[in-house]
Structure formats: structure tokens, C-alpha cells
Structure 1
Amino acid sequence: MWIERLRRQPLVVRAIWAVLAFAFAAALIEARWSLAFVSVATFALSLVPVLAQRRLGIRLPVRFFGWIVVFVFATIFLGEAFDFYNRFWWWDVVLHGGSAMAFGLIGFLFVFMLFQGDRYAAPAWAVAFMSFSFAITIGALWEIFEFAMDQVFGLNMQKTGLVDTMWDLIVDTLGAGLGATAGFFYLKGRELGGLTAALREFVAANRRLFRRRPGRRRGP
């Protein structure tokens, strides 16, 4: 059963899980306990979407699941265990932009679900703006979290302080704008790379979430 489920996962997900298993085994042999812990933690977090979709009653398309696993791997395993944040100055920028774009897509799906999948319930630009606002809010809350951790526990999550925070917010804005634009293009029936395709896949896999509820009608 588990082997069959493993075969159904995207190639990139199976490759990442294999790397994590190898890193965990090597860490145990070399008594590198921190690497072993990070490997297990990364694998556990990569399984959260599987558990969440069962709990919430949603279905994650292969593309969505693959993106999530890659992001977790890049953030926790490569970023922390192998110090990619300090090795490559652009690593944090790419991850911030990617997460903001993802939250833009999630914000669009959430707003679209509230409108029960009705493309004409609100202007496309208004839905895109709400998606953009959702993603920016998440980014701002994360910066507040980093500031709180630095102040309370003496960490260095903000690195260069104000400069790091402002660049993070700028990248968040660009990523959120791209995610919201993908939602706008989706409503207009146009393409924007693989982003609009991902939205279509999610809506198709979760039709019941985007259906008008019986007994509800528009107007007074």
C-alpha cells in the first residue's frame, strides 16, 4: 500500500525523500545529531500537506504538493542544515518571493471559494486585489514574528535589521503581485505560465468547494 502511494508521488518528491533518508542514515553513522533531527523534521513537514488534505477534506494536485515539498526542503534542510542562507545571498530572496507568490495563489483560491466559484460575482481586478492583500498580510505578519523572536529570544532572524525587513517586504510584494496576477488571468481565461494551470487543477480537483450552495440565491 505504502509502496503504491510512493510510486504515485512526483519524481521530485521521491528524490527529495531519498536524499532525506540518505542524510538521516549518514548523520546517525557520523553521530551528527543536528543533521539527523533536521532530516526527520523536514520529512515530517513534507507529509503535513498529506495529513492536512485528509483532515480538511481537500485534494492537492500533484503540482501543488510538489511545490510544497520543494519549498520545505529548500527552507529547512538546505537553508538550515547546509547554511544556504549565508552561502547564497539570493537564497532568502527566492524563498520569500516563492512563498509570497504561493500565498497569492492561496488567497485567490480562498476568495474564489467564498464567491462559490462564480467568475462574475466580483470584477476580476477586485478578486486579484483581495488575493494580493492576503499575501501581503501574511508577509507582514512573518516580519513581525521575526522581530518578536529577535527581541524576546535574542535571535538574528532579521539579520541586517531594517534593511533585511524592507527587502523581504519588497520581494513579498512582487511575489504576491505575481500570484494575484495569475488569479486575474485565470478569471479572464488567459494563461500565465504554469500558475494558471495550477489554479485550474486545484479547482477541478475540489469542485465541491467552488459550487453554489443549494437554497442560496443572489439578490434580495
Structure 2
Amino acid sequence: MLLCFAGGAVLLGRWHPAFVASVTLVLSIAPLVLSRWAQVVVPPSFIAAIVLFVGGTLFLGEAFDFYERFWWWDIAMHGSSAVGFGLVGFVLIFMMFQGDTYAAPPWAVALFAFSFAMAVGALWEVFEFAMDQLFGLNMQKSGLLDTMGDLIVDAIGALVGAGSGWLYLRFQGRRGPMALIEEFVRKNPRFFTRLRRK
């Protein structure tokens, strides 16, 4: 579908939508390529979440101007990405300790996950600032207010993602975002050889 949209946009001379659709397609396929390269099994729910987010932020947000049409779209995209990066940060540190909950206590793993998600959010704000300054874009919208609002939403989303990791380790939770963690652990047991289940 994205390929057809990009092709149609090129035929009509609409270069911005064509570029956005092409980038969306590449970023949607990238997790599959990277997972094969790293020999990591990425669960279908992870892939679906990535595709929905990339489609929402780039395709709908940029090509169909959802950021301007719906005041809450930016909040939804920042919040969901922060939750996702909080979960990714959790999984990364948990993999580093091979699932050893004694070497990596739940609060420490959650703190790293929160910090990871916030770092990604801050880097994105730097990217927006650079694009505005270098290419005269308006990614920051209202400047400081937009940046601080985005970082606050990022912090809330990061807390949800990191908190889900903490709950997963502390109480062996399996619902909501914790189910995504459990699915990843179950499909990649070789990375979690020291995991002790209650």
C-alpha cells in the first residue's frame, strides 16, 4: 500500500508525500532486517507496534497533516514512543544480565529503562531543533513550550514503560505492556539463561 501511495505521489509530482511514504516503508521493514542480522526473534506484537507507530507519526502525521488537524496527535505519538523505548531499554539491560534478577534488581533495571527512554526523547528534540534551524522547518511548533510539553509526555510514557518492566520482574506480571516483555523473553530464551521464575 505504501509503495503504491509513493508511486502515485511521484506520478503526480507530490514529492513530500512520496518521500514520507518511502521512509515509512523503509522504517517499517527495518526491524525485520535488524532482527535477522542480530539473530533476535522479534515477536509479531512488537513488529505491529513499530509499524503502527511509524505509520502514525510519519505517514499520517506528516503526509496527511494529522499533527495540525488533531491537537492530541503529537501527545499520542510522543507518549506511545516513550512507552515503547522504556520497554526496549528494559529488555536491553535485562538481556545484558541474562535475566539474572539478583545481579540486576528490578529498581535498577527500571531506572535504566526510564533513562534510556528519556535520552531518546531528548535526542529527538535536538533533532527537531536542528531541522528547524538548518532547513527552516517548523517541527518545534511553538518552540520552548512544544519542547517542554514533549519532554513531559516522554517522561510519563517512560515511567509507564519502565514501570511495566519493574512490575514484570517484581510480581511476574503478564498483562498489558508486561505481556510484550514476556513474549520477547519466551521467544528468546538464550538471552535469559539466568532468569529465575517464581
Q: Same fold (TM over 0.5)?
A: yes
Q: Which amino acid aligns with 1:80?
A: E
Q: 1:132-143 alignment to 2 at 5 Å?
A: 132-143=114-125
The match for 1:94 is: 76
Check the 8 A contact 2:94/2:104 in 1, yes or no. Answer: no
Q: Cα RMSD (Å) of the superposition?
A: 1.8
Check the 8 A contact 1:185/1:191 in 2, yes or no. Answer: yes
- Distance in 1 between the 2:138 and 2:18 partners? 24
Q: 1:1-220 alignment to 2 at 5 Å?
A: 18=1, 20-24=2-6, 26-27=8-9, 30-191=12-173, 193-211=175-193
- Compared with structure 1, are the counterparts of its residues 80 and 139 closer, same or farther at alpha carbon in structure 2 (3 Å cutoff)? same
Q: Which amino acid aligns with 1:67?
A: A
> Residue 21 of structure 1: CA displacement?
4.6
- Distance in 2 between the 1:137 and 1:99 partners? 12
Structure 2 unaligned spans of 5+ = none
> Residue 29 of structure 1: CA displacement?
5.9
1:5-40 CA distance string (max 9 Å, x none): xxxxxxxxxxxxx4x255346535645444333323
Structure 1 unaligned spans of 5+ = 1-17, 213-220
Check the 8 A contact 2:174/2:182 in 1, yes or no. Answer: no
Q: Give the fraction of aligned pairs with identical amino acids, expressed as a percent.
A: 55
Q: How many residues align?
A: 194
**What SS is found at the alignment partner of 2:171?**
coil
**What SS is found at the alignment partner of 1:188?**
helix
Computing the radius of gyration from Cα coordinates, the structure with the larger value is 1
TM-score by length of 2: 0.89
> Residue 130 of structure 1: CA displacement?
1.4
> Residue 173 of structure 1: CA displacement?
0.2
Check the 8 A contact 1:182/1:192 in 2, yes or no. Answer: no
